[in-house]
Amino acid sequence: MSKVTVKDIINKFKLELISGEEGIDRPITTSDISRPGLEMAGFFEYYPEERLQLLGKTELTFFGMLNEVDQKVRMERLCTDITPGIIITRGMTVPEELIEASEREAVPVMRSTMKTSKLLSQLTNYLELKLAPTTAVHGVLVDVYGVGVLITGKSGVGKSETALELVKRGHRLVADDCVEIRQEDQDSLVGNAPDLIEHLLEIRGLGIINVMTLFGAGAVRSYKRITLCINLEIWDAAKQYDRLGLDEEKMKIFDSVIPRLTVPVRPGRNLAVIIEVAAMNFRLKRMGVNAAQQFTTKLSETIREGDDD
């Protein structure tokens, strides 16, 4: 999981820092954002102090109706030692009570000219992206006919060579050797390449090549949602491989589960074509067309008709 600090938020959304400068390195640990309306009314029983606090026109208008003692108490309780920061929206005036309390607890107080709902939406999307669970997988990620195909297998099995052939056939490379995967949402895995090896492909005997330089900007993309995994393995004569496609193997990453196909590798097999067909067949299945299931159904009907005769 990436680390996000208040300073990152200030730079990203061009916020004006009003007070609490000592706390700009405080970490933000959750993408949830609080609008402390009930807290302004004095109810702090369930105050989510670990979240970013957003004060809009509604909260500050109500705050202005309080007496001086309540105003001071509310702001002191709003600023805790674990509160990452407080943002004032619409470019409104920051209450002096908040500035004083934030300076004592080193809670950054920031101001934005954006509307509250718009800033809330953009902040949530940004934090969900940055704080999403992340892992790294040894493999290759390719965009084939709009399907994000993660190619895995042991070192030397031919993953990069297959990716090169797919790029030559008009598909797009996302990452080679190391694929960084983050779970942006339930059942949504997005993969990208580390900055150091972005657009690069390693071919044994040839070395490292830059796919974008050789094939153009249309041959690469920065990230892609992963929906299918194809595992390459050396052909094992003693192993029984699926010949109908009825048995669907699954691969779990975080809380997301994606289909996984095992493709045996041996001389004479065109892996690039096989992966293209696998991607197209995957799209057909999502549209409700399952060739293996249709064949099995027809076979069963033919057997029943033969028994009836």
Q: Is 102 annotated as a binding residue?
A: no
| Half-sphere exposure at residue 45, Cβ-oriented, CA atoms within 13 angstroms | 1
| 68-78 vs 96-105: helix crossing angle, rounded to 10 | 30
Contacts of residue 214, defined as CB under 8 A and 6 or more positions apart, other chains included, come to none
**Cα distances (angstroms) measured from residue 293 to each of 210, 258, 283, 307:** 42, 19, 15, 21
Q: Is 190 annotated as a binding residue?
A: no
Q: Is 202 annotated as a binding residue?
A: yes
| 6-13 vs 116-130: helix crossing angle, rounded to 10 | 130
Q: Is 139 annotated as a binding residue?
A: no
Q: Is 285 annotated as a binding residue?
A: no
Q: Is 154 annotated as a binding residue?
A: yes
Calpha distance 41→24 (Å, rounded): 28
Q: Is 159 annotated as a binding residue?
A: yes
Catalytic residues: 138, 159, 177, 243
Instruction: Extract the tokens encoding 218.
Output: 């249309």
**Cα distances (angstroms) measured from residue 102 to each of 2, 37, 81:** 26, 18, 10
Closest by CA position to 160, among listed 222, 212, 202, 109: 202
| 159-168 vs 271-286: helix crossing angle, rounded to 10 | 70
Instruction: Extract the tokens encoding 305.
Output: 């008709």
Q: Is 289 annotated as a binding residue?
A: no
Q: Is 233 annotated as a binding residue?
A: no
Residues annotated within the binding site for ATP are 153-160
Residues annotated within the binding site are 153-160, 202
Residues annotated within the binding site for Mg(2+) are 160, 202
